[in-house]
Amino acid sequence: MRYRNTLLRWALFACVPLAFAACTNEEPTVDAAPQAAPGTKATYIVTFKESALPEELPGELPKALGERSETSLRKAANDSRRQRYTEFFSGVVSERVRTKGAISFKHVYSNALGGFAAELSAEEAQALAADARVASVELDQEVFLEEVKVEAYVSAAAAKAAAADNIPYGITKVGGAVNYTGNAWAWIIDSGIDLDHPDLRVGTSYARTFATGTSNADDANGHGTHVAGTVAARSNGTGVVGVAAGAVVVPVRVFGANGSSSNSIIIAGIDYVRAEAYAGDVANLSLGGPASTTTDNAVKNLAAAGVHVAVAAGNEAQNANNVSPARANATRLYTVSAHDSGDNFARSFSNYGNPPIDWCAPGVSVYSTYKNGGYATLSGTSMATPHVCGILLVNNGVVYSRGNVKQDRDSTPDKMARR
């Protein structure tokens, strides 16, 4: 994954989050970052102090008992809380913003964060930031998946004709595949998953899309399906095998077919996983963009609730401390860099830095499942991260080291992950 800014987008999306200080005794301070031009609006993410919310954000996630239900047992409670939050946010907007026409929320966050995303003018954003109940107001930023090159492709028919499981080198490097028999699920926050791929056990009833212009979580890009296969492709005599072979993978789609998204959309996906996951589940975020404190906080809160989260370091060959959510640090949150089949750091693209990087995993020329029932070879920290996600699933949150990567870009070689 990567982020991109054109001159046109620069007018609306900052490379540094636009934050306002919440205060009542003085004018709110404004960072010297771009904001909505006079007479125009841009999307802002507004978060509230927990003490100001109409009810507490949910605490630690419950443990899943026995067979996982295909129907959400917490949906009514989540819907009720979201409704109360929406009414509260609407009231605050009515109090603070004097504007012609109503402000509609693009997203309401009530699990990983308490807040909303909406189109606002700079003046409206400042008015909200001046409210003592508001923790932050951040200008939204566009995020794009890396335009990865498909190094090799195998159709569904060709893979079936081969009648054999292909064990990618990365799976072997991290200790081999395990036929997963546990009760935890892997939530893939990405471009969706090929819902009927023969090599994947997809939790379709929990599948959701938040990507603009989409109606379901079926993967039209290929990135999310590739990630899912490395985590959990079945050992079924065809295609490939994942680290936690046969585990349930749940698509949470935050990218469209062209790989476009934004922080506000990604946070909506994280908020959904926080609502529906159980303690011990894992989440994979092979994505990232410019520094965003709000995105970092959403991911950290997901991990704090009991979900083991694997995050890609990024593919800009820069310090990962410049990228969100890669730069976030927390218990149960793991940032992953990439190495090749010879255990050499992927110097041409992988981000680096300790902290925040916790583990290094295979990310060069990785073979896995792909859209339309096929299989493909791709490279990136996006491909390294699901190796660690699969390990977290198999080992219930534990990752072991098999030594240090060679030729790291900094003075502290990353540890290579194994199960």
Q: Is 382 a catalytic residue?
A: yes
Q: Which of 110, 235, 286, 382 is catalytic?
A: 382
pLDDT value at residue 99: 64
Residue 100's pLDDT band (cuts 50, 70, 90): low
Q: Which of 131, 191, 219, 223 is catalytic?
A: 223
pLDDT value at residue 16: 27
pLDDT at residue 277 greater than cutoff 60: yes
Q: Which of 190, 194, 281, 358 is catalytic?
A: 190
Q: Is 196 a catalytic residue?
A: no
For 132-145, the pLDDT digits (tens) are: 999 999 999 999 99
Q: Is 411 a catalytic residue?
A: no
Q: State percent of the chain over pLDDT 70.
A: 89
**Average pLDDT of the chain, as a whole number:** 90
| Cα 136 to Cα 19: distance, rounded to the nearest angstrom | 6
Q: Kindly report each contact of residues 69-72 with a partner whose C-beta sits within 8 Å and lies 24 or more positions away, as own/partner.
A: 70/203, 70/205, 70/206, 71/205, 72/206, 72/276
- Kind and range of the H or E run holding 302: helix 293-304
Q: In what order do the strands lie in the sheet with 42-48?
A: 105-109, 115-120, 42-48, 134-139
